[in-house]
Homo-oligomer: A and B are copies of this chain.
Amino acid sequence: MKQTKISEAVVRRLPIYLQVLNELNNREVQTVSSQELGVKLDLNPAQIRKDLAYFGDFGRKGIGYDVTYLIEKIRQILKLDQTINVALVGAGNLGHALCNYNKYSKDNMKIIAVFDVHPSKIGSQINNLTVMPMDMLKQTVEENNIRIGIITVPGFEAQNVANQFIDAGIEGLLNFAPAILKVPEEIRIHHADFTKELLSLAYYLERERDDENEPNLD
């Protein structure tokens, strides 16, 4: 298929495909059909085929997709075949968690610098990284070709941190703070605010009939 503009919905599914494919690869499965992927992911096989076909003819008619080849291709599409350096601001528990997670990742996307706004945190170690003060952000970003910034500070500090990242020349931001950030159009910003997931989850719970004060039956 020719290069149409690819919708965000499609791009967001690519990492999910990659995850299943990696699992299949670990189990040394050679080949997979859109049908099988669809069952695993609860997606329509036609959608999976269409998504992949935006980027090239990766499958073989009558056969399916070669698992390792498709992994390679999706990694290319997501630019995981090149090194992408990441910086993180906010050396709290969440920051720690992300750095740890990073350690185990095979992706070429690595958190290579950690910053904090609070003097008490500066100099402490997270894995093999030393927490740096904010006034070293710009220089560090420039010198290390850091392209993505992760924000794990409290909401009220988030905009300020975002501004400093942007000033330093970052291309993309991943924001964990519960705040709506204003960024220039050319900066890509993704949100990873779990509170929103939690609140929308509550919507789907059964409403408790709590008005009649039923006692806990145990």
Residues in chain A within 8 A of chain B (CB atoms): 3, 11-12, 14-16, 18-20, 23, 40-41, 77-80, 82, 84, 86, 92-94, 96-98, 100-101, 105, 107, 109, 142-143, 145, 147-148, 150, 171-172, 174, 176, 178, 180, 188, 190-192, 194-208, 210, 216-218
Q: If the complex has contacts A93-B100, A206-B171, A207-B79, are A197 and B191 also in contact, measured as CB distance less than 8 A? A: yes
B100:A147 contact, CB within 8 angstroms = no
Collect the chain B residues with CB atoms within 8 Å of residue A101's CB: 195
A205:B172 contact, CB within 8 angstroms = yes
A92 to B104, CA, bound (A): 15
B142:A199 contact, CB within 8 angstroms = no
Question: Closest 3 interchain pairs by CB?
Answer: A93-B97, A94-B97, A15-B199
| Oligomer: number of copies | 2
A194:B98 contact, CB within 8 angstroms = yes
Task: Please pick, from B93, B142, B190, the residue contacting A93 in the complex, using a CB distance under 8 A.
Answer: B93
Q: If the complex has contacts A142-B218, A148-B205, are A80 and B199 also in contact, measured as CB distance less than 8 A? A: yes
A79 to B201, CA, bound (A): 10
| A91, chain B: closest CB distance, angstroms | 11
15 sampled A-B residue pairs with Cβ under 8 A: A3-B218, A12-B200, A14-B199, A14-B200, A15-B195, A15-B199, A41-B180, A78-B199, A78-B200, A80-B199, A82-B208, A93-B97, A93-B100, A101-B195, A172-B202
| A21, chain B: closest CB distance, angstroms | 12
| A188, chain B: closest CB distance, angstroms | 4
A82 to B213, CA, bound (A): 11
Interface-centre pick from A198, A204, A206 (highest chain B CB count, 10 A)? A198
Collect the chain B residues with CB atoms within 8 Å of residue A192's CB: 192, 194, 197
A125 to B103, CA, bound (A): 26
